[in-house]
Amino acid sequence: MTSGSQREFAALLVRHEAFWSRDDVEVPLKGTSRWPYITTDDFAWDLPSPAGFLEPEMLEVGHFLPQYEARFEERGHLDGDFFWSAMPLRSVPWFEAIVGCQAYYSLPGGAMSGEVRLSSLDDFDPIATLEANPWFHKLIEFTEGLVDLSHGRFPVSPPIARGPWDIVSATRGATDTLLDMYDRPEALAHMAEACADVWIAVTRRLASIVPPWHGGYVSQAGVWAPTYSVLPQSDASVSVSSEMYRELMAPVDRRVAQAWTAAIFHLHSAGLQVVDEVLGLMEGRALNVVLDGSGPALAELLPILQHVQAAGAPLHVMAFSRADADGVVGGLEARGLAVMYVPTP
């Protein structure tokens, strides 16, 4: 870097630090994601058929690394105010596959998913040891490959980290999971605790592999943090009441949210009925809200997002339209705010 660009970079890092501390700033962090929203269209996969079941040996790390390099060369390490990071293949359901779900892909459909594997709660036993798990080994291989490719030029982040309840829902099936919440809540909570154990173990191992980048770490949210940063997800909470979430789901989500001091807890705008419960478990962590195209209009969401800011939580918003991104910037205070426009394919 030139001396001028070094000063600009240092000033940007200060703004990222201010996001976490919610210091006064003139403008929020904002930018356009280089990655489109989650889709298989972001890579050339070289799979044996357009659709089918995915096995870890089908994913050759060396096949994908030149594609990551090309992404980096598009714009360098910046997406507006955000830092671009390389993460293991975003479409792959890593966490679901690690606990035993069969990964399924459809390239024409642009998606991958973890297929239901349990007809009963009684036979759930997640991997006895991660070291014997082929999907875990492939995730480590990808992470190590990206670290080597980066050579300090860009940050490496964890993959999309489905939270324990999302893993439960994938493993058991969404409908049976909801029924189990009423019929067998203790057994379901035990299953979620086991998934949380796996989630924490996996993210800790990834953190041990990824070196700091300019003294900190970057997650898929594009925000630099002084410590390892990851986005725990709780998409499954979109279908439950705030009371059900508080009584059953929140204790497990608290474990994964508090596993990392720079966690950015992920919710969808269609599921903000649980926002107060989530704010209660974060203790200084940030909240990420994805504005769903089929969810409430921005005018309805702004008071809720203002409530999040009033509660003192750093807020990261992903919007799928520039109008919504601009509306968030105009409708919320700048301190502790990051707004990312995410193109859709």
How confident is the model over 207-232, as pLDDT tens digits? 999 999 999 999 999 999 999 999 99
Which pLDDT score is estimated for 122?
Answer: 64
Q: Is the pLDDT of residue 345 over 90?
A: no
Which structure tokens are listed for 112? Answer: 């991958």
Q: Is the pLDDT of residue 128 over 70?
A: no
Q: Which helix (H) or strand (E) element contains residue 99?
A: none
Q: E strands within the chain? A: 29-32, 51-54, 78-79, 82-83, 102-106, 111-115, 217-218, 224-225, 264-268, 286-290, 315-319, 337-341
CA distance 149 to 151: 6
15 φ/ψ angles, rounded to the nearest 5 degrees: -65, -35
CA distance 227 to 263: 9
Q: Is the pLDDT of residue 234 over 90?
A: yes
Q: Is the pLDDT of residue 1 over 60?
A: no
Higher pLDDT, 37 or 140: 140
What is the per-residue pLDDT across 80-103, written as a single tens digit (0 to 9) for each? 999 999 999 999 999 999 988 999
Cα-atom radius of gyration of the chain, to the nearest Å?
A: 19
Three-state DSSP state, 111: strand
CA distance 207 to 340: 24
Only one residue has tokens 């359901």, namely 93
What is the per-residue pLDDT across 288-311, written as a single tens digit (0 to 9) for each? 999 998 889 999 999 999 999 999
Residue-averaged pLDDT of the chain: 93
- With a pLDDT cut of 70, the percent of the chain lying above it is 95
Q: E strands within 145-247? A: 217-218, 224-225
Q: How far is CA 6 from CA 72, 134, 151, 289, 332, in A?
A: 19, 42, 19, 32, 30
What is the per-residue pLDDT across 167-207, written as a single tens digit (0 to 9) for each? 999 989 999 999 999 999 999 999 999 899 999 999 999 99
Q: Is the pLDDT of residue 327 over 70?
A: yes
Q: ∠ CA 252-266-287 to the nearest 5 degrees?
A: 100
pLDDT class of 123 with cuts at 50, 70, 90: low
Which pLDDT score is estimated for 259?
Answer: 96
CA distance 309 to 287: 10
DSSP calls for 221-289: T--EESS----BB-GGGGGS-HHHIIIIIHHHHHHHHTTSTT-EEEEEGGGGGGHHHHHHHHTT-EEEE
Which pLDDT score is estimated for 53?
Answer: 96
Three-state DSSP state, 320: coil
Q: Is the pLDDT of residue 127 over 80?
A: no
pLDDT class of 36 with cuts at 50, 70, 90: confident
- What's the CATH class of domain 3-341? alpha beta
Contact 289, 272 (CB under 8 A): yes
